[in-house]
Amino acid sequence: MIKLIIAEDHQALIDGMKSFLKNESDIEIVGHANDGLVLIDIVRQLKPNVVITDIRMPKCDGIIATKTIKAELPNTKVIAFSMFDHDDAISQMKEAGASGYIMKNASLQTVLEAIRAVNEGYSYFVNEAENEYETPKNELVFSSREKEILQLIAEGKSSQEIADILFIEKSTVDSHRKNMSKKIKIIGKTDLTKFALERKYDYL
């Protein structure tokens, strides 16, 4: 059994991963954290096999947290979870002891692959692993209305609330949701919410 801890300051992303991974018989999410200090504390207590951590978090960033975790629990594998694929960020996480680095716009299936790979002793880095599930931002084309709806989704609005704000029918919002999901090759409201949260400020 792979004992997993997730550290991410957006609770919706944690909830999305929990929902996706709950049916995987070989993985148990034993804890989660919304900042780096809490992450270090629960890792010390629960001693997981794998940690997925955001790089940018309150109180203590993922790089420092990873260094601390690897110094105290060298057998715990760490996967960085980031919006950025900059070489320097990847290098810093490697130097800190991370075994993997995946993008937040990667599919949940990719997250699953990364967890299993690092647990088996392999490395899983975005610039080294062939990842057909990633969707490069510059290839996405959204209409003005879709951008408005994405922003409202990121703010936690329901389809009905979005319809009321934009003075359109709820069925129209649902139709836009389906179209956007097709464009970014995801399935389900949770994944679309995850995507919207990570792109919250891209279209302002």
Residue 204 and residue 200: Cα distance in Å, rounded? Answer: 8
0.75 surpassed by pTM: no
Q: Provide the residue ranges of all domains of the chain, joining segments of one domain with +.
A: 2-125, 137-198
Mean confidence (pLDDT) of the chain: 83
Helix (H) or strand (E) holding 199: none
CA distances from 72 to 51, 56, 61 (A): 14, 21, 17
Domain 2-125: give its CATH superfamily: Response regulator (3.40.50.2300)
**What's the pLDDT tens digit per position in 178-202?**
888 877 765 455 567 777 776 654 5
Q: Three-class SS of residue 73?
A: coil
What pairs with residue 53 in β-bridges?
A: 7, 80
User: What single letter denotes the amino acid at residue 172?
Assistant: T
Does domain 137-198 bear CATH number 1.10.10.10?
yes
Two domains, one topology: 2-125 and 137-198? no
pLDDT-derived band at 155 (thresholds 50, 70, 90) equals confident
Check whether 141 has a pLDDT greater than 80.
no
Which tens digits make up the pLDDT trace of 111-136? 888 999 999 998 998 754 444 333 34
* Mean pLDDT across 17-39: 91
Query: Looking at residue 72, what is its pLDDT?
Result: 96
